[in-house]
Amino acid sequence: MRHSILVTYAVKVKIDMYLLWLRVAAILYAAASVAVFPAVLYGLIRWRKTCVHLGGLAFFFHFVSVVEMLVQAHRWMPVGVREVESLLGLAVAGAFFLVWWLYDAISLGIFALPATFFLVLVPALGPDRYMFPSAGVRNSWLVAHIIALLMAYVALCFSMLASVLYLIQERRIKSKPKPGQDSWWAPFDWLPALDTLERIAHATLEFGFPCMTVGLVIGSVLAQETPLGAAYFLDPKIIAAFVSWAVYVVLLLVRRSAGIRGRKAAYLSGAVFLVVVSVWAANLISHVHRYGPQ
């Protein structure tokens, strides 16, 4: 009896150890994902070094976790969704660091590091379905999820509005109305300068991105308590939500790296707004994207 208890305790410690390393890796991946955006979008050397160091440590702990997990299971092939997700995340991170080492292309990290974090997040919660300590804690996370996404949508609305006003102001300036002369553009004399409108559109876009990211992260955790479990992520509307996040990243990257400004930037902002709003509207009618009674 005592021997069986000791064996059970030893197995539990082993499980806790590989989960511990995986959770450390998830935290480091999250920090590297934050650092990669100023490193790529603004070309900041300090953030670039921070991103590489944090991502490298995350990859190391992730590798240790995967090895311990497979050795403990006495096999070298993953079994189950969470093991596959962890191994896939390791492959994505490994491919990114190989490309970075060969070509110094850290810009790929703007996709690879967040993708790895999302892949690792669910397995790091544990081998079983994650359960919140109480209904109050779950409701608090649900409120945070909703608020984060609403703030992202509000920021996108402001960005879209600023972009539309930019196009109107641009047409108004090109029409060259004479002072004191009645013109169709007279009601728009109150519009700010083009540079101000462009800065508003870009600033609101940058504000909305972390809000959307936080909303998706919290939603991924909340999804683990639903009866659907990992199948939740097979819903086309959920996949579309992550695709809209990727489109958002592309917009920020293109605006910054290609130096797109003016009318083209306004059209890009409008395109992203339409994509995200379409995904939001689709989620409203989804039979899977619900956190209430199924």
pLDDT, tens digit, 9 for 90 and up, residues 255-267: 766 556 666 777 7
Q: Which amino acid is residue 212, in one-letter code?
A: M
Question: Per mean pLDDT, which range of 91-95, 126-130, 170-174, 270-274 is the poorest?
Answer: 126-130
pLDDT value at residue 162:
85
Instruction: Examine the pLDDT at 219 and tell me if it is beyond 70.
Output: yes
Tokens of 46: 């300090």
What is the pLDDT averaged over residues 198-210?
85
State pTM to two decimals: 0.74
pLDDT value at residue 96:
94
Instruction: Examine the pLDDT at 211 and tell me if it is beyond 80.
Output: yes
The dihedral of CA 127, 210, 55, 110: what is its sign? positive
pLDDT band at 5 (very low <50, low <70, confident <90, very high): very low
The span from the CA of 22 to the CA of 8, in Å, is 21
Provide the percentage of residues in the chain whose pLDDT is more than 90.
19
The span from the CA of 263 to the CA of 269, in Å, is 10
Instruction: Examine the pLDDT at 201 and tell me if it is beyond 70.
Output: yes
pLDDT value at residue 292:
46
